[in-house]
Structure 1
Amino acid sequence: MVAATDSPVRKKTEVVVAARKRSDRWQGQGTLVALRVVVIAVVLGLWQVLSGPVLPEYAVSRPTEVAASLVELLGSASGWSDIRATVIEVVAGFSMGVVLGAVLGLVLGSFPLAGRVLEPLIAAFNGIPKIALAPLFLLFFGIGAWSKITIAMIGPAFVMFYNIYLGLRLRERELVEIVQVMGGRRLHLLVYVTIPTLAAPFFAALKTGGPLAILGVIGAEFIASTEGLGHGLFTAAQNLDAASEFAGLIVLIAMTLILNGLLSWLDSLALKRLGLTPRSRPSAAEHS
């Protein structure tokens, strides 16, 4: 009797498991990549067909012309010179912004009185549009790379400051008191409380600050520059060269994806070393 009632339940379970496996296969990484490729191919095909008859070709160009401009950009010495200038400015500005924001966040978060005094002033300065500061930095640092680096530094610095500052304020006071009661010194607080607490906000600020640094550099190169991808984009817009404009945007997208990929890899590696990665839940097969 038990076997008779158990058999339909077992068959139903096997059907559900088989359906779930088929769903997992359809949602696998390879399938997702293939679907993305199909979407991109459809968009490019529609773009190629509609450019001219429906969309103004001078404004959107064609994928074939964009590809030719991209090959020309990557095959010329001037193109790589612009890419190198932008990369150097982004990396320098991003690195300086991360260090500045982290130091400010640690100092003001560790000294509550200084935080209460200076945090509203920092918030007021953060309210100024960053691109509005570009002419001021250009007057102070000139048209060279330093004006772009300082503008690129501002965005990541503010993001890092607030993540670290609020992360320190949100530290679990009970953990701090427990470590202190057990005789822990500042080094123990740093290793067992502060670093695990700030790890996730720190890497979240890195991922957010990267695109902000690129945005700052491109905006500053738009305003005044003699080299860089922003300078090339501005020149292409003035010449109504949509193909070169899209080619420069593709390079910027690639730069953003590479930077985000590196930061994501660093995030996963650091959190894994700190033992902060979430544990995977056991499957139904493992329970059985």
Structure 2
Amino acid sequence: MTATDRPAAAVADKQKGDWKQSQVVLVLLRIGVIALALFLWQVLSGPVLPEYAVSKPTEVAGALGEMLGSASGWNDIRVTAIEIAAGFGLGVAFGAVVGLVLGSFPLLGRVLEPLIAAFNGIPKIALAPLFLLFFGIGAWSKITIAMIGPAFVMFYNVYLGLRLRERELVEIVQVMGGRRHHLLIYVTIPTLAAPFFAALKTGGPLAILGVIGAEFIASTEGIGHGLFTSAMNLDAANTFAGLIALITMTLTLNGTLTWLDKLALRRLGLTARRRPAAEGA
């Protein structure tokens, strides 16, 4: 290392150390906020807030322990997790395929896009009774409802991503003798990578919302069924316990999708492109 490189390395090390320190402080502040909120919740429940509506953190912890310690509680978690995973996966696949087809054939896209937009305007939960008539109160009615949200988000991201491909890049690859697979590798995939993973992160919560909403309407098992039953029985502790399980599933799904996003963009060599944009913002 030369003498001129040493100051730059020292500055980089200092910035890295400052960043780690700031992250530690940020985590500690978040923990402090959560601890304060739990303390106020425990103290105010009863004297200020109606205990039947908000319960207490200690009671919620007990209800959560009972849920995780019972076979029925784990069965509800398993059923909801399977429905979310199946609905999310099928919705992503269906939306991506339709987006690729309509984006690759502009005339077909112009014909069908208004019809898709009209169907997308229907509130998704309003379709739940229709799916229940077709598939009954079993898992498939929840899976099909969970498909709708991710499918539309994925379709629009892929469809618009294809339409926004840089025409100059396509023409350059074609002039250089590139075939369809060259266009796919060097133009289409890099162009669609960011909108594809953005659609994944947006579609995940929509799939969860669809499943829970459908379980609210008609089901015999699942976290949504447990939440609805607890609310009807004015059992706030079990209601909050179910919400905690649901939040944990949401954070797990979001964390997995974020990890896949970073891994895929790093493998495609697109991380360096994203970083300057993020720093400029």
Match of 2:77 in 1: 83
- What is the aligned counterpart of 1:51 among 30, 38, 45? 45
Q: Distance in 1 between matches of 2:55 and 2:138?
A: 32
- What is the aligned counterpart of 2:181 among 176, 181, 187? 187
- What is the aligned counterpart of 1:224 among 190, 194, 218? 218
Match of 1:145 in 2: 139
**Runs (4+) off by over 2 Å:** 19-26, 278-281
Q: Distance in 2 between matches of 1:262 and 1:25?
A: 23
Q: Distance in 2 between matches of 1:229 and 1:184?
A: 51
Q: Distance in 1 between matches of 2:225 and 2:44?
A: 29
Give the alignment's TM-score, normalised by structure 1.
0.89
Q: Distance in 2 between matches of 1:163 and 1:199?
A: 10
Q: Distance in 2 between matches of 1:253 and 1:238?
A: 21
Structure 2 stretches of 5 or more lacking a match? 1-10, 277-281
Pairwise CA distance, 1:275: 0.1
Match of 2:33 in 1: 39
- Cα pair distance change 1:261/1:20, threshold 3 Å: closer
Match of 1:163 in 2: 157
SS of 2:243 mapped into structure 1: helix
Q: Distance in 2 between matches of 1:26 and 1:83?
A: 37
Code of the aligned partner of 1:111: F
- What is the aligned counterpart of 1:197 among 187, 191, 209? 191
Q: Distance in 2 between matches of 1:98 and 1:89?
A: 14
Q: Distance in 1 between matches of 2:40 and 2:192?
A: 46
Aligned pair 1:275/2:258, yes or no? no
- In our comparison, the structure showing a higher alpha carbon Rg is 1
Q: 1:1-288, aligned counterparts within 5 Å?
A: 24=19, 26-27=21-22, 29-278=23-272
- Cα pair distance change 1:24/1:185, threshold 3 Å: closer
Code of the aligned partner of 1:172: E
Q: Distance in 2 between matches of 1:79 and 1:274?
A: 41
Aligned-pair Cα RMSD in Å:
1.8
Q: Distance in 2 between matches of 1:99 and 1:24?
A: 39
Pairwise CA distance, 1:31: 1.9
Pairwise CA distance, 1:278: 2.2
Pairwise CA distance, 1:30: 2.0
Code of the aligned partner of 1:134: A
Q: Distance in 2 between matches of 1:20 and 1:47?
A: 39
In percent, how many aligned pairs have the same letter? 81
Code of the aligned partner of 1:70: L
SS of 1:278 mapped into structure 2: helix
Deviations 1:228-256 (A, max 9, x none): 00000000000000000000000000000
Q: Distance in 2 between matches of 1:56 and 1:116?
A: 55
Code of the aligned partner of 1:136: L
Q: Distance in 1 between matches of 2:20 and 2:194?
A: 32
Pairwise CA distance, 1:34: 1.3
Pairwise CA distance, 1:26: 4.6
Deviations 1:105-140 (A, max 9, x none): 000000000000000000000000000000000001
Code of the aligned partner of 1:258: T
Structure 1 stretches of 5 or more lacking a match? 1-15, 282-288
Deviations 1:160-185 (A, max 9, x none): 00000000000000000000011100
Deviations 1:65-93 (A, max 9, x none): 00000000000000000000000000000
Code of the aligned partner of 1:53: P
